[in-house]
Structure 1
């Protein structure tokens, strides 16, 4: 099988598809044209820089450099998750702990089981996949928690007035927020292969790998993402709900 090739003409024609979104935005007065062009420009610059950086890291094949790149991914994912938290008293360390723990545990199990090897060409991309999905789940958990506290403020106050601890008063809100955070990953797992052919599986098939072997890798990725999103959202949620209370255990919105 010939490897997939993308030339400048292919990129130009693919960029023409972006113009469809721009036209729709202009016609419907969505005011998204500037954001679309900015996001495209940023993506191009970031991908070019990362592409050359990964090429260097793969060639050097140094364990410390691999760990450094993986840590950079985790730190950046944690910062983006932190920014998505609407809570007033949010703390970056909470997002960092959630993503670091979920990524480390998932990655550690994969390495110890022999599913992947500790080489940069495998560790760095897998770390990116785990951290990015955990970041999205944590962001959804944060938003869900904020919405729940505002919508169910009176019920929470009543529970506190009756002597409930902040953990007990917040438990139903926390459970719903974690469920909301995990739902996209669960829905994706339900439809994988039937509706979508995910990136790793498609990439391996493009590279010429037997589809059956590509499916095994995709099953591993599905397990991996379910683990990371569940761990990340649970850890972040149990940290974040405390941000809505002061030192006297009073609800502050």
Structure 2
């Protein structure tokens, strides 16, 4: 079976896609959702950011300097950290929450990327930006979501189970023992989107990696192989990140005297 060449999109094609955004803006205005401004800003940011990263990638592909590639990956981790913590209500210092989430995202994404690079895809050289940056982008994006969900759910569980936790502490339980259920609930909540994605992939949805490769003219069987690798690596990164966030962030809810910190 012959594989057809990918359909190229020019500026006219992109312009014809704009009405799709206007549909969402119109529906927001009709129902008075107040999302029109956010949608416009979001669309502009998406266009500017993607066009900019496209030019940066063209430059990186031509230079192939490992330190520049690592610098881009670090910028991605920093951006993911600020995005994950931007809407969270921090317990204690917000700066510490960012360091905590940033460290978890870096470890979860870094370990997963290193494994995929060396043992799965066998990228040569190991810093090839054509592979490393897109793959790491998918990994860090899911790790970011896992960190945000874990931190938010942990705080909400501490609030809802406050009396239960204080009762356990009063009976002599350690902070780790008193908050064990809370930690497990937060970890489970962070993993639910990933588990759902694993359950419906190929039936309800054709994910981005697979769809993009098929549209680019790749063999569908190869697209499936890559998508399976993607699903497995995203699961690993999300699990590692969520576990680190909950275990590290849990300590912020207790004082040095092992008393529960007052929550608003």
The TM-score with structure 2 as length reference comes to 0.93
Question: Hey, what does 1:181 align to over in structure 2?
Answer: 190
Deviation at 1:3, TM superposition (A): 1.5
Question: Hey, what does 2:210 align to over in structure 1?
Answer: 201
Question: Hey, what does 1:238 align to over in structure 2?
Answer: 247
Say if 1:134 and 1:228, in contact at 8 Å, map to a contact too.
yes
| Residue 114 of structure 2 corresponds to residue 108 of structure 1 | yes
Q: Residues 210-243 of structure 1: CA distance to partner in whole angstroms, max 9, x if unpaired?
A: 1011100001001100000000000011111111
- RMSD, aligned CA: 1.2
Say if 1:84 and 1:143, in contact at 8 Å, map to a contact too.
no
Partner Cα separation in structure 1 for residue 257 and residue 244 of structure 2 = 23
Q: Residues 47-91 of structure 1: CA distance to partner in whole angstroms, max 9, x if unpaired?
A: 111111111011101111111111111122122223243223141
Partner Cα separation in structure 1 for residue 7 and residue 147 of structure 2 = 34
Q: Displaced runs of 4+ in structure 1, greater than 4 A?
A: none
Question: Hey, what does 1:221 align to over in structure 2?
Answer: 230
Choose which of 95, 103, 118 in structure 2 pairs with 1:97. 103
Say if 1:159 and 1:169, in contact at 8 Å, map to a contact too.
yes
Say if 1:86 and 1:142, in contact at 8 Å, map to a contact too.
no
Question: Hey, what does 2:133 align to over in structure 1?
Answer: 124
Q: Residues 24-64 of structure 1: CA distance to partner in whole angstroms, max 9, x if unpaired?
A: 11111110001100111111111111111111011101111
Partner Cα separation in structure 1 for residue 122 and residue 23 of structure 2 = 40
Partner Cα separation in structure 2 for residue 27 and residue 160 of structure 1 = 52
- Specify every segment of 5 or more residues in structure 2 that has no aligned partner in the other structure, as ranges: none
Deviation at 1:116, TM superposition (A): 4.2
Partner Cα separation in structure 1 for residue 242 and residue 251 of structure 2 = 15
Question: Hey, what does 1:74 align to over in structure 2?
Answer: 77
Deviation at 1:5, TM superposition (A): 1.5
**Once structures 1 and 2 are overlaid, which stretch shifts more, 106-115 or 184-193?**
106-115
**Once structures 1 and 2 are overlaid, which stretch shifts more, 113-122 or 132-141?**
113-122
Q: What SS is found at the alignment partner of 1:126?
A: helix
Q: What SS is found at the alignment partner of 1:6?
A: coil
Question: Hey, what does 1:44 align to over in structure 2?
Answer: 47
- Specify every segment of 5 or more residues in structure 1 that has no aligned partner in the other structure, as ranges: none
| Residue 35 of structure 2 corresponds to residue 32 of structure 1 | yes
Partner Cα separation in structure 2 for residue 247 and residue 37 of structure 1 = 47
Partner Cα separation in structure 1 for residue 253 and residue 43 of structure 2 = 36
Partner Cα separation in structure 2 for residue 78 and residue 114 of structure 1 = 27
Deviation at 1:114, TM superposition (A): 4.2
Q: Residues 186-209 of structure 1: CA distance to partner in whole angstroms, max 9, x if unpaired?
A: 100110010111111111111211
